[in-house]
Structure 1
Amino acid sequence: MSSLQSLLLLRREERWPVFSGCAAGFAVLGAYYLLKPLRDEVFVGDRAVGAELWTGTFLLALLLHPFYGMLVARVHRERVLPILFRAAALLLVGLYWLLHRVPDPETVGPWQEQAGSFWSGRWVQGEQGWQLLQGSRIWLQRGFYVSVSVFNLYLISALWSALIERFEGPPARRLFGLLAAGGSLGAIAGSALVAVAFDSWGSGPFLLLAAGLLEFSLHALRSAGACQSRAPMHGSSFEGLGLVLRHPRLRLLGVYILLFTLGSTWLYFLTADLLQVHLPEKGDRVRFFSGVHLVTNVLTLGMQIGLVGRLMSSRGLLPGLVLLPLVSLVGFSALALAPLLSVLFAFNVLRASSRYALAKPAREALYVGLEPRDVYKAKNFLDAALYRGGDLVSGWAFQGASALIVSGGAALTLLVLPFMATSVGVAWRLGRQTDESQG
């Protein structure tokens, strides 16, 4: 046990809280990765309205932000996470019920949808009561896409806010990589289960399993001591934006996040376009995404267990923040030269693993030393509203560039390279400033 503790940089009194924190991360990320391949396939299958899906995602994130701010300001913090997580679990159960009530387009009842009509994809009252028209399942799938895209950000942001407050101070850099490893294990388990069971189970059981994992995560957080009784933080529901604008480190982090979302959006849309050509079947696309997630999280876990804590303790946050934009710069260059499925797979894996293994723990460590109000309110604004706002602008920019550039994906890929080069400089400055201020 002592050799394992030495490898993990873990002290005896930290064993149970860290194990419980890892279990909470396992459950939350496991739930998300049960749903992520299904969500991503909806985007590829409905690629014609991809920018509209991202618009809906941003609008929902923006709509929920003041409610989250009000919740944090007025409710004791030990109740914030149960409210958020159980609301998400109920949503998943409701989506499961609706998806089983709505007929597939191949098995339509007497009501026929008229393309482009006002009632397209809506409820209609018929002789047998309220019925759903053909095409309603498409709208439910779009609702599923938007809901998962928004709630995963809120839940993961709230999870890390609680862990940051629980493991504050000098141990944070040493332990954050290990805490993130619990999430990677959950992501591996979720991705592997989807890859193995999707053909026989379909989509529905994964929604119920994800809801159960969210409930389990609450018990794990309580065991870690991350849901202790703390007074509300008061203040305005919209205070997150003001906190970001007033704090130099948070302002620079906002720029870093916007450039990151540009790269993520560009890769996401390019991936969807290439998969429509190379993998026209839905099941093949789900397995592609599951494979990407599985390999990504195996690599991520290996780095998180033995590398991240030592790197952040000895070298600071700068290496973790800079590696992701460097990988993005090299990856987009490779994809422009060789837009192949193998290159696409490798780029997705390497970018995501550098993000989750190094950039994510480094980003969370940026909040160490800040007031709890800054952590909860500003972090949620950055992780949800600003993140999805960046997605929205980047998505419409990609659509506009696609309409103007007729030469194809290589030219579109080259467009993003100057922004990725800029993000390297922003990451360097952010890492240097934070390492100097945190000592």
Structure 2
Amino acid sequence: MSPPSFAHRVHRFRDALAGSPPLWWSLLYFFSLLCGYYVLRPVRDAMGASGNAEAVFPRWLVDWAAGHGYALGDYTLQVLFSGTFLAMVALQPLYGALVARFPRRVFLPVVYLVFIACLVAFHWLFHTGVSGRGAAFFIWVAVFNLFAVTVFWSFMADVFDNEDARKVYGYIGAGGTIGALAGPAITRTLVGTVGVANLLLVSAVFLAVCLLCILKLRPWAIRRERRHGEASGEEAMGGSVLAGLRLILERPLLRALALMLFFGVGVGTLLYNEQAAIVREYFPGAEAATRYYATLDWAVNGLTLVVQLLLTRWLLRRFGVAPALLGPALAILAGYCLLAASPLPLMVAIVQVVLRGGEFSLAKPARETLYTRVDRESRYKAKAAIDTVVYRGGDLAFVWMHKGLAALGSGIVFLTGIGVAAGMTAAAWAVVRAQRELPEDGRAQ
């Protein structure tokens, strides 16, 4: 059975919007969230690719490294990724306590209010020229991205059940992709006129819209829980603040998801580091590097949007999660094989677009539908642990691995990437097998 025509998809999308008020608010929510993030991402990536350590790190850290015989600029990404992992580990118990002790109506707004306050604080720091603000901002944006997005999808699993998720997650993802396209466009347009610091306030406005969407979607989450007889999110969840890590160890599906994400981060991190080396060579200025990353983000999100609108919903409803998980993994494996044979800069950019596009358009929506079929503790605590600690643990492991492999040349990096991509494919197959044992919603757990 072939996918429906484009005109039929447009008609079906219009009917879905007309018949589902929560879909409207979910689209606006994800659009605003990713638009706000992608306004910041090119700024963050340009800092990570900078070869000038004094523009990124505190002066005392640069001097300390120099005193011990190290040029900190040679380890920029490694130090930044290490700092990000430490921040994730430190924040995970705090997030777990927030989720365990407060109801959904409290902890969801609190997460976004804290992020808005941080953006205002960074706006002030960028204007004052405080040493080390670049490293602090890089780490904070990484924390913001993972926590804000994982909270979004956890909340979506409260609003929509499994059947609805297969129908609308592709559309919701497309709304986010449009926001991800708009964000870099805003950055490219405004960075030369308003400056980097004022872009942070633009992002804060989009996060304020997210708060409004949370308030509007709350009644639909309550209705869904009552309809399925699930535990109410209007009450504190309770349990241990570290229960997420325990659940990952206990449950086969969560273990497989954690492994899949770990290896998925690995293939992305190896490629990201090779790309950063190219940017340092061909785009040495901060504004030029920011524009390059904004252009790459635009290409990634353009591909993502096309796949989300034309393919994601049909695949999930017709075949389930298997092709949406295995397809991107096999594409990444093939991409690394091509890079090992021909490690050209243009090929690196192409594979990067395919890698991230496949993740956002197919693998991510497929994984998120699975969380509609587990209990709330797995949905909020285990998912948060996977999306933050496991994710950044993978970043940390592979960014330092890349540092050692890079000395042997790009060919060795990409050969190693083939093995990592094979591990990701095997983990994706384990997820497909484990999810067959789940009920169609979270009631049985």
Which bracket does the TM-score occupy, shorter chain normalised?
0.7 to 0.9
Matches within 5 A, 1:296-307: 296-307=300-311
Contact 2:267 2:417 in 1 (8 A): yes
Amino acid at match of 1:222: L
Q: Give the structure 2 partner of residue 101 of structure 1.
A: 128
Contact 1:240 1:379 in 2 (8 A): yes
Question: Can you list the C-alpha shifts for 1:32-91, whole angstroms capped at 9, x where unaligned?
Answer: 100111101111004622111101000001100000000000111111111000101110
Q: Give the structure 1 partner of residue 66 of structure 2.
A: none
Which deviates the most, 88-97 or 189-198? 189-198
Question: Can you list the C-alpha shifts for 1:221-243, whole angstroms capped at 9, x where unaligned?
Answer: 22233675610100111111001
Q: Give the structure 2 partner of residue 156 of structure 1.
A: 149
Percent identity of the aligned residues? 30
TM-superposed CA distance for 1:154, in Å, is 0.4
The CA distance in 2 between the partners of 1:90 and 1:250, in whole Å, is 33
Matches within 5 A, 1:173-192: 173-192=166-185
Contact 1:89 1:215 in 2 (8 A): yes
Q: 1:327 aligns with which of 327, 331, 348?
A: 331
Question: Can you list the C-alpha shifts for 1:395-419, whole angstroms capped at 9, x where unaligned?
Answer: 111112234x2xx212221122112
Cα pair distance change 1:411/1:27, threshold 3 Å: same
Amino acid at match of 1:172: A
Higher helix share goes to which structure? 2
Q: Give the structure 2 partner of residue 172 of structure 1.
A: 165
TM-superposed CA distance for 1:339, in Å, is 2.9
The CA distance in 1 between the partners of 2:389 and 2:136, in whole Å, is 18
User: Does residue 16 of the first structure (1) align with residue 17 of the second (2)?
Assistant: no
Q: Any stretches of 5+ residues in structure 2 without a counterpart?
A: 1-6, 52-72, 223-232, 441-445
Amino acid at match of 1:254: A
Contact 2:154 2:371 in 1 (8 A): no
Matches within 5 A, 1:364-375: 364-375=368-379
Contact 1:322 1:428 in 2 (8 A): yes
The CA distance in 1 between the partners of 2:217 and 2:331, in whole Å, is 34
The CA distance in 1 between the partners of 2:244 and 2:94, in whole Å, is 12
Q: Any stretches of 5+ residues in structure 1 without a counterpart?
A: 103-131
The CA distance in 1 between the partners of 2:122 and 2:423, in whole Å, is 41
The CA distance in 2 between the partners of 1:190 and 1:11, in whole Å, is 26
User: Does residue 207 of the first structure (1) align with residue 200 of the second (2)?
Assistant: yes
- Please provide the CA RMSD for this pair: 1.9
The CA distance in 1 between the partners of 2:271 and 2:406, in whole Å, is 13
User: What is the aligned length?
Assistant: 401
The CA distance in 2 between the partners of 1:270 and 1:192, in whole Å, is 25
The CA distance in 2 between the partners of 1:438 and 1:285, in whole Å, is 47
> What is the DSSP-based 3-state SS (H/G/I as helix, E as strand, rest coil) of the residue aligned with 1:329?
helix
Q: Give the structure 2 partner of residue 269 of structure 1.
A: 273
The CA distance in 2 between the partners of 1:230 and 1:170, in whole Å, is 23
Contact 1:174 1:313 in 2 (8 A): yes
> What is the DSSP-based 3-state SS (H/G/I as helix, E as strand, rest coil) of the residue aligned with 2:415?
helix
Q: Give the structure 1 partner of residue 424 of structure 2.
A: 423
Q: Normalising by structure 2, what TM-score?
A: 0.86
Contact 2:17 2:23 in 1 (8 A): no
The CA distance in 2 between the partners of 1:180 and 1:77, in whole Å, is 23
Q: 1:89 aligns with which of 110, 116, 128?
A: 116
Contact 2:268 2:355 in 1 (8 A): no
Amino acid at match of 1:182: G
